[in-house]
Amino acid sequence: MAGMNHKVAEIAIREKFYIPMDIKTRALQESPFDELLILATCNRTEIYVASDRPLCERDLVQYVCGLVHQDYGSYASYFYYKEGDDVARHVMNVCAGLDSVAMGEDQILHQIGRAYETAHQLHGTGIVLNKLFQETIHTTKRIKTETNLSKLSCNIPFLAMKQVQKTFGDLENKTVYIVGLGEMGSLMLKYVQENTTHIYASSKTFANAQKFADVLTPVPFEDRYKVLSDCDVVILCSACQEPIVTRDEFVRALKDAAPLSLSSPRPVVSEVEPRRGSPLAKTSSSENEPQRLVIDLGSPRNAEPSIGDLPNVQYVCVDDLEKIVSENRRLRMAELDAAQKILQEGLEEFLSWFRMDEVAKGIHVLADKMVKTAGEESGKLLASLPNLDEASAKKIAMMYERFAKKMANDFLYKVKDSNSPEDVKVFLKCLEANL
């Protein structure tokens, strides 16, 4: 694998290597490798490869540079490269949030899950990467449920909310505007809702913003400057290749902004009436308090950073949030040992499988599939028996699992012991086509 993250490259470099979905899709469909998975988030861009032919660091880094049309010689030093066991160790640490800006954050698990799902659906992954990422996701879920790491989770939206509270303190009479309602924006909205009811939001697709009309006032994306110039807090988390908030347009919007009152908000959107109880309200600021806080969670950045040079405007990007992470890390140290123990168990499970021969790997995959199918079937049965007591339900689930394991032993492992590898491969191929 090869990649760059927030530890080795600042956001100005990382945003040059953001891989949009259309490029990612084409890359997976036309992959030059046996197996390929692409992970692209605001804090990292990484590719994972499995190949029968020898590959070196230059091969992978040049490939990434080619995807985003950047010069290899100018940016190669920002990449890290891992191979063999170190790849599995790295991705498990990443997925568990142990390599994140906010250690233990949950969001990276979902991002890796989506990256794996996309690669799998487009036939980018095969037997090796499938097993690696399935084991990685399973191990991370164990860490989330068996330790308190997730209970102390401080993902990027949480850190952004911390910054808002540090700047303004009480948000009761402050107005917040969120641009972008994808996963990041939706998480941000949850934190904002806990602190104020004066919320406006935009999405490039207006219907997405309208879905949240019960808790905020939707604003068409093209009307964003009419709103952000009047809000105390602007949170940008939209997927874009070019800034959606420029310094010149922001300055123009500030000049055009009219004074607001608590009782009569300025009509910024003709299509949507402001939600009752959520006025665009401005309150006076002390000399030490910026009138507007702009938090840019996008990568590439959603705003031109130079807006932070404007009077009474504070601009904060993803990299700035690292400065308030130290307390989160301190709280998590007590849980880190337990998380590392579970991670090591998952790592050893994958590596023991990886070191098997090809036939054994195929058998192991099919055996897992049989057990998983048995679990799904027992779940369907139990769903049809809502009045069944818990003890009986566990016995039924256990019976299905034991039966699946016995079938796997009789029809997979015993077959391997008494037949040639070639015959076993044919047998496994027939089974796989029907399972």
Give the integer Cα–Cα distance in Å for 99 and 108: 10
**217 has which bridge partners?**
200
pLDDT at 269: 42
Beta strand 199-202 pairing with 44-50? unpaired
For residue 172, the model assigns a pLDDT of 79
Q: Where are the domains of the chain?
A: 1-150, 156-324, 374-435
Q: 154 near 105, Cβ under 8 Å? A: yes
N-to-C CA span, the chain: 31
| pLDDT recorded at residue 272 | 39
pLDDT value, residue 320: 84
**For position 326, what pLDDT does the model report?**
64
Task: Give the fold, CATH level 3, of 1-150.
Answer: Beta Polymerase; domain 2 (3.30.460)
- 156-324 has CATH 3.40.50.720 classification: yes
Binning the chain into helix, strand and coil, the percentages to the nearest 5 are 55, 10, 35
Helices and strands (H, E) in the chain, number of each type: 17, 10
Distance CA 28, CA 125 (A): 9
Scan for tokens 């990568």, then name that residue.
299
According to the model, what pLDDT value does residue 154 have? 62
3-state secondary structure 19-50: CCHHHHHHHHHCCCCCEEEEEECCCEEEEEEE
SS3 of 239, please? coil
Q: What is the pLDDT along the chain (435 residues), one digit of tens a residue?
A: 999 999 999 988 998 999 999 999 999 999 999 999 999 988 899 999 999 889 999 999 999 999 999 999 999 999 999 999 999 999 999 999 888 776 677 789 999 999 999 999 999 999 899 999 999 999 999 998 898 877 665 678 888 888 888 888 888 789 999 999 988 898 899 889 888 889 999 999 999 999 999 889 999 999 999 888 789 999 999 988 899 999 999 999 888 765 443 333 333 343 434 333 433 434 444 455 448 999 999 888 999 999 999 998 999 998 888 766 666 667 777 788 889 999 999 999 998 888 767 777 778 788 888 888 999 999 999 999 989 998 999 999 999 998 988 888 777 777 777 778 788 878 878 877 776
Which residue pairs from 321-327 have beta carbons closer than 8 angstroms and sit at least 24 positions apart in sequence?
A: 321/101, 321/102, 321/156, 321/159, 321/160, 321/163, 322/6, 322/101, 324/159, 324/162, 324/163, 324/166, 325/101, 325/102, 325/103, 325/154, 325/159
* Full-model pTM: 0.58
Residue matched to tokens 């939707």: 218
CA distance 116 to 111: 9
